[in-house]
């Protein structure tokens, strides 16, 4: 086989493999919602915000499942996408959604909350988040906590913790000990991301907040940011560097 032809064949096979890999790692896909697995028990749900400032923005949330129970971190961006996610968890995965947790007060965390309430799913957020939503208006989570919330899903604990201000003053993160996975939400940036929306941010304290997470959870397997591709603890290092004084 001549080299140019061989190159074309190899390139074509590579493209096919990449396409198949993408297809195999997406368990649900519609124009408004994508669900991708991190493990057999943990999934990232991705919905899409149309922002006049940042354009078409993919917004991440997390689903963790154990023994036919599920927890959701952050709702999809609106009620229609939330309905799709709820349907997938309940009717495809055959799980009861035990809780939905909003990690801060912005719409990419609570935009679909009304749909969860319609399905009588218990919602949680920090008291600071609930107060911020009350001030700006919008559907509010029903149950509040101060700095830490532990919920058992199936036989596994989940921990929601406030470490300090960053993207917002109220942002919390979710940790799944059995998977060693952190849902950082908008407190954590994907690799090579810009600073993003700083309207409600505390950029001075942001790197110190991330440092606290690193100290308490030093060996994370997966870190999921609020927007973009997940990775490992390098995302924490990148976020610290992005908001350090040297980066300003």
Q: How confident is the model at residue 56 (pLDDT cuts 50, 70, 90)?
A: confident
Give the torsion sign (CA, 182, 184, 188, 191): positive
What pLDDT is attached to residue 25? 83
Active-site residue flag, 197: yes
Residue 191, classed as helix, strand or coil, is: coil
Closest CA to 164 of 205, 220, 215: 205
Task: Supply the pLDDT for residue 247.
Answer: 53
Residue 56 annotated as catalytic: no
pLDDT of 51: 73
Strands 42-51 and 55-66 come out as antiparallel
Which is the catalytic residue, given 59, 106, 109, 170?
106
| pLDDT, tens only, 73-123 | 999 999 999 999 999 999 999 999 999 999 999 999 999 999 999 999 999
Residue 149 forms beta bridges with which residues? 160
Q: Which domains does the chain have, with CATH numbers?
A: 30-247 (3.60.15.10)
Q: Is residue 108 annotated as a catalytic residue, yes or no?
A: yes
Mean per-residue pLDDT for 155-184?
A: 99
28-42, 43-57, 212-226: lowest mean pLDDT where? 43-57
**What residues contact 38, with CB distance under 8 A and at least 6 apart?**
44, 179, 181, 222, 224, 230
Whether residue 189 lies in the annotated active site? yes
45 is catalytic: no
Can you give the pLDDT at residue 137?
93
Parallel, antiparallel or unpaired: strands 222-225 and 181-185 = parallel
Contact (CB, 8 A) for 63 and 233: no
Backbone angles phi, psi at 59, to 5 degrees: -120, 125
Residue 104 annotated as catalytic = yes
Span 34-50, pLDDT tens digits:
999 999 999 999 999 88
Q: Do the strands 55-66 and 156-162 form a parallel or antiparallel pair, or are they unpaired?
A: unpaired
pLDDT of residue 50: 87
Q: Is the pLDDT of residue 14 over 70?
A: no
Distance CA 104, CA 224 (A): 15
Sequential DSSP letters for 52-66: TTTEEEEEEEEEEEE
Instruction: State the catalytic residue, choosing from 104, 109, 170, 171.
Output: 104
- Asked if residue 238 has pLDDT above 50, the reply is yes
Residue 219, pLDDT above cutoff 70: yes
CA distance linking residue 84 with residue 97, whole number of Å = 13
Which pLDDT tens digit goes with each residue over 134-158? Answer: 999 999 999 999 999 999 999 999 9
- Residue listed under structure tokens 């993207």: 167
Active-site residue flag, 117: no
Mean pLDDT over 168-191 rounds to 99
């Amino acid at each position: 086989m001549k080299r140019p032809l061989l190159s074309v064949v190899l390139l074509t096979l590579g493209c096919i493999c990449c396409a198949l890999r993408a297809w195999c790692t997406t368990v649900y896909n519609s124009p408004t919602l994508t669900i991708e697995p991190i493990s057999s028990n943990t999934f990232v749900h991705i919905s899409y915000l149309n922002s006049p400032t940042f354009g078409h923005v993919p917004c991440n949330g997390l689903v963790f499942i154990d023994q036919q129970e599920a927890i959701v971190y952050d709702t999809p961006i609106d009620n229609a996408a939330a309905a799709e996610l709820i349907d997938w968890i309940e009717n495809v995965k055959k799980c009861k959604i035990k809780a939905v947790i909003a990690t801060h007060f912005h719409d990419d965390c609570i935009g679909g909350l009304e749909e969860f309430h319609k399905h009588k799913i218990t919602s949680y957020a920090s008291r600071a988040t609930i107060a911020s939503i009350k001030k700006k208006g919008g559907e509010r989570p029903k149950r509040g906590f101060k700095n830490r919330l532990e919920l058992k899903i199936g036989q596994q604990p989940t921990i929601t913790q406030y470490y300090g201000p960053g993207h917002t003053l109220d942002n919390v993160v979710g940790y799944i000990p059995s998977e060693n996975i952190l849902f950082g939400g908008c407190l954590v940036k994907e690799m090579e991301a810009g600073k993003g929306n700083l309207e409600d941010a505390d950029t001075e304290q942001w790197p110190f907040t991330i440092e606290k997470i690193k100290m308490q959870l030093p060996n994370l397997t997966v870190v999921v940011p609020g927007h973009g591709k997940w990775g490992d603890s390098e995302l924490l290092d990148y976020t610290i560097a992005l908001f350090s004084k040297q980066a300003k």
